[in-house]
Amino acid sequence: MQPAHTPAVSRRRLLLSLALASGAFAGSARAAGDEALPLEAARDALASGRAVVIDIREPDEHARGVAPGMRLLPMSQIGQRLAEIPKDPKQPVLLVCNTQNRSRATAQALRERGWSNVRYVAGGMSEWARRGWPLVAPR
């Protein structure tokens, strides 16, 4: 895990700030509340196909390994690729990043833009890897 002061972490925070400020997402952040989903539930939803699980980490993070079946949509590209995120309230969408900070903020921003079906995965991919769950090379 990288310290909070590294250039890569600072870059990711800047990208989220720019996306929020530029209108890629509207509104202000609010308390996450029930938007978090436990990692085990997310893994089960992914395996069963009950949800679309989107890994919003950046390509340099994907290179370390991704969970089989997750869609890759870097957070820095979400503003330009919103149409790729299902908006159907019957189709759950789960966002995952490295620790849950970016996915929580992105889920909040999407909910403020009208996505009622979006939640973030508690623990993120760092916890997935820590548990020794499968990781594959990105496609």
CA distance 114 to 112: 6
| CB neighbourhood size of 130 (10 A) | 11
Which residues are the active-site residues? 97
Cβ pair 80, 86 in contact under 8 A: no
Query: What's the token pair of residue 118?
Result: 């979006």
Cross-strand pairs, 139: none
Cβ pair 54, 94 in contact under 8 A: yes
